[in-house]
Amino acid sequence: MNLKLQERINIIYLTVFLTITCLVLVMYTGQAYVAIDTTIYTIIGKDIFESLTLPYGNTFDHKPLFTYYIYGFFHCLVGQKYLYLSVAFVCTLSSAIILSNKNLNKFLVISSFLFVSSVLIENFSGNSEMLMLPFIGLYIYFYTSNISDKYKFFLIGATAALVFNINYLAAPIMMPVTLYMFFSKGFDSYVSRILKFLSGFIILNIIIFSPFYITNQSITEYFTLQLQFLTGYSGSSNRLDSFINLSKFIVIFLPIVILYILRTDKDKYFYVTSLLYIGTIIAAFMSGRGYSHYLEPTVVPLAIMFWTVLNQEKFKITIAILLPALAAMIYGLPLRIASLDKNNYIYTLEAQQDLNHLNKLARVDKSSLNIQSTHIIYLYSDLKNVNKYIWPNHPQIIFGNYANDYYIEEIKKEPYTIMTKVDMCDQPNDVCTLINKNYIFDSTSKIREGYDLYIRRKG
């Protein structure tokens, strides 16, 4: 390739990267949040860094521990306003740095691909699946680099511990490629590899969970509550709907996968990338949920595949395989932007007045209970939850038909304020009978799905 042509290619890659980066910044700068999931990670992460309260001393959510460490750290670092954009950008760019192996053009292409695919698949939200990306990148890097075998599988095992403690879907995601790593050179050395892997995995887990022992908090409760929740959560979805929704996103990128498989040399890079892609698809379907963000880990092997195809195929072919993704982006982008407007209601004058009212009440007494209503008021106000299960439907998942008994026990703690789902007490039930007996209705808010606010009666 002559020098002049190479310079043009370099300029094209840089221009595309800068254009996409600017568009992402314009779309997401100033967003209150993108995925509601990330707000509860922040609530728990703040507890860890501000009061050394580990999960689930104050608040429950079912994600593993390292997710909350990451969000607590970033909240301390950048504050609330730019938190989610910062997390998403760091995950994207660090993944590209790891995967590019000091090749600038590769970094520009992979970054651009990760930006676009992450906007399409999970709306660049910084959800837990996105937190996994740089660690999945490290997993590949440690195996394909020239690091001595003496340390390689220890580092891979340590990375496995980190990614597993971000999202449990890491197990099926990494399983196919990990088995390949163990046995790709035959069975003569697999015992040594597995033992080194387990050593790294165990040591990193000890480090991750050591704060429980240092602060003398219950690690047993941590695992018990997770098991209790995940048992109920896994059986509460429509598998067919999930399959259809996830398949739509898989088909969009399928031309890249097909061309990569057909035209790429079958070396260790090929098998690692292909098996990782297979693992990410298996994990998404195993989740039993149709949420597109479960497919976010696919963007790592897809980015590698795209870079490989780009370098070995004609430009026209590369553009052709991107057409389904580009069409989906053009169709889906207005929907993504519309969903952001709903989240930004928290910044409106009306919402701020509601939050100021809650803060005024918090100066009297911060104790609060939410019943089937949004949990984000605990992030944007000074109120403190008395109930662990602040996500609106978690009590229903965990306690089933006994959810009302759980709420009644929480009301007996006599929180100063109670927020219920809007109009929940229009129909008589045991929970509302107890609320009406001891609390006075105050107001209704439209924050998120809205809530009815009750204040404890005097005396």
Picking from 120, 129, 45, the residue whose alpha carbon sits closest to that of residue 79 is 45
Pull the structure tokens for residue 299.
């963007």
Residue 270 pLDDT: 95
> Mean pLDDT, 10 residues at a time, over the chain (459 residues)?
76 93 92 91 96 93 96 96 95 97 94 94 93 97 89 96 96 96 78 93 97 93 91 66 85 93 91 97 86 94 94 76 80 76 87 96 97 96 96 93 95 97 91 95 94 92
Q: What is the DSSP letter of 419?
A: E
Amino acid occupying residue 275? L
Q: How far is CA 130 from CA 66, 92, 142, 328, in A?
A: 13, 8, 20, 20
pLDDT (0 to 100) of residue 3:
73
Q: Computed over its alpha carbons, how large is the radius of gyration of the chain?
A: 24
Name residue 385's beta-bridge partners: 368
Instruction: State the pLDDT at residue 187.
Output: 64
pLDDT at res. 106: 96
pLDDT at 312: 84
The order of strands in the sheet holding 451-456 is: 384-385, 367-371, 417-420, 451-456, 439-445
**Res 1: pLDDT:** 57
CB 16 within 8 A of CB 108: yes
Q: What is the pLDDT of residue 188?
A: 63
Whole-model pTM over 0.85: yes
The two three-digit tokens of residue 16, written as one number: 């595309």
pLDDT at 287: 82
